[in-house]
Structure 1
Amino acid sequence: MFGRLPLDEQLGVLRTVLSRNEVLTEVLGRAATMALPGWYVTAGCLFQTVWNVVTDRPPATGIKDYDLFYFDNIDLSWTAEDEVIKAGREVFDDLSAEVEIRNEARVHLWYEQKFGKPCPPHDSAEAAIDCFAATTCCLGVRLEPTGEWRVYAPHGLSDIFNLVVRPNPVLAPQEVYEAKATRWKSQWPELTVLPWPS
């Protein structure tokens, strides 16, 4: 139903829906205080909140963590990223959820070892979001200093509201997409999972 609304109305509905997840709104508010360059809360905690609300589940059901991306290409050392992660532990310490913080400027340094495929260096957090295994995952939200929400959704929002999981074969291997889709389908059986292109 929401997936057929004009995009500007979808954005309003998205904010209303995401705001029902109190953990998510707390993560967004606290993340803003860290003033990380190019940051977004992204991926599962966003689209899974939408899925939960659309299917009448409690908003935070099944969300295992809250991904916080930022982009700092000045210092690509693990030490610098680890300092941010440790600072984040203090910021989010009393939350009943895990917040996973990653510098997306460093992904190319470890991606091939983890996934068996090289990753070109990203030039922004948005570029990293573009490379998720499913277009449904390609969503980022942050709070601007003005209090406005910045929403990055390169594939739009209709699939998210319509419970469609669509592959995004730009970087992640097919097996990563299929494993994620299988896990999601087991938790949200209402999903329509589209096959990896042949």
Structure 2
Amino acid sequence: MRLLQTEEELKNLIVADDWMMEILSTVETLQLPDWWVCAGIIRSKVWDVLHEKEDRTPIADIDVIYFDKEKVAEKIEKHYEQELKQISPNEPWSVKNQARMHVLNGSKPYKSAVDGIAHFPEIPTAIGVKLSKGLLEIAAPYGVRHLGAGIVEPTPFFLENNYEIYRQRMHLKQWHLRWPKLEINLQ
């Protein structure tokens, strides 16, 4: 299993993937405040590489997040999803404003989109990427080591406050069936 250890290696992996770069370019056109593409699209790409898969593992959705505490209505997120579908109709877009997502986790309001990423359930999923004037940026509050080594553990928030939700997600996701080399840590 080839490990990915640095943000630079992650950047190189994404830049070499035309589909992922097209996704990022598409989202960049919306000019959302404090936006990131995150979670499954990144996780699946890296784990496919770790498992030497030739074909891309299908993903349920493309998670696009942003942070706008002035406009928190869910209908605005749906509007952005429709804009993305007009540009790329065959992609499973999911847009969420992190200024309102703290309610789902029962936490204090987030301060930014990256703060929202830090409150995702699993460490290897708590990573975002975006283009800023053509340059790839990475937000990895816990680094890329877990993702790049195929280690799944809860983020500190879920470890301390919502561990049962993390445990249920691991049971439902069944990631070990797609990527058998993963190390999924449960207490």
Interval containing the TM-score (normalised by the shorter chain): 0.7 to 0.9
Check if 1:88 corresponds to 2:75.
no
Out of 156, 160, 166, which is 1:177 matched to? 166
Please give the per-residue CA displacement for 1:66-85, whole angstroms capped at 9, x wherever unaligned: 10001111112233333222
Distance 1:173 1:59 in 2: 34
* Alignment TM-score, normalising by the size of structure 1: 0.82
Which structure 2 residue ranges, 5 or more long, are not aligned?
Answer: none
Q: How does 1:1-198 map to 2 (within 5 A)?
A: 1-3=2-4, 5=5, 10-58=6-54, 60-93=56-89, 95=90, 97-109=91-103, 111=104, 118-145=106-133, 147-171=134-158, 173-182=162-171, 183-196=174-187
What letter corresponds to residue 122 of structure 2 in structure 1?
A
Q: CA deviation at 1:18?
A: 2.4
Structure-2 change in CA distance of 1:121 and 1:24 (3 Å): same
Please give the per-residue CA displacement for 1:131-184, whole angstroms capped at 9, x wherever unaligned: 011111110000001x11110111111111111111114147223322333421
Structure-2 change in CA distance of 1:102 and 1:144 (3 Å): same
What letter corresponds to residue 182 of structure 2 in structure 1?
L
Pairs aligned (count)? 182
Distance 2:128 2:17 in 1: 15
Which structure 1 residue ranges, 5 or more long, are not aligned?
Answer: 112-116
Q: CA deviation at 1:20?
A: 4.6
Q: CA deviation at 1:13?
A: 1.6
Distance 1:154 1:31 in 2: 21
What letter corresponds to residue 102 of structure 1 in structure 2?
K
What letter corresponds to residue 136 of structure 2 in structure 1?
W
Please give the per-residue CA displacement for 1:39-74, whole angstroms capped at 9, x wherever unaligned: 000011101100101211135214222100011111
Distance 2:115 2:16 in 1: 28
* Alignment TM-score, normalising by the size of structure 2: 0.87
Structure-2 change in CA distance of 1:52 and 1:13 (3 Å): same
Q: Secondary structure at the match of 1:80?
A: helix
What letter corresponds to residue 42 of structure 2 in structure 1?
L
Distance 1:88 1:139 in 2: 21
Q: CA deviation at 1:92?
A: 2.3
TM-align CA RMSD: 2.0
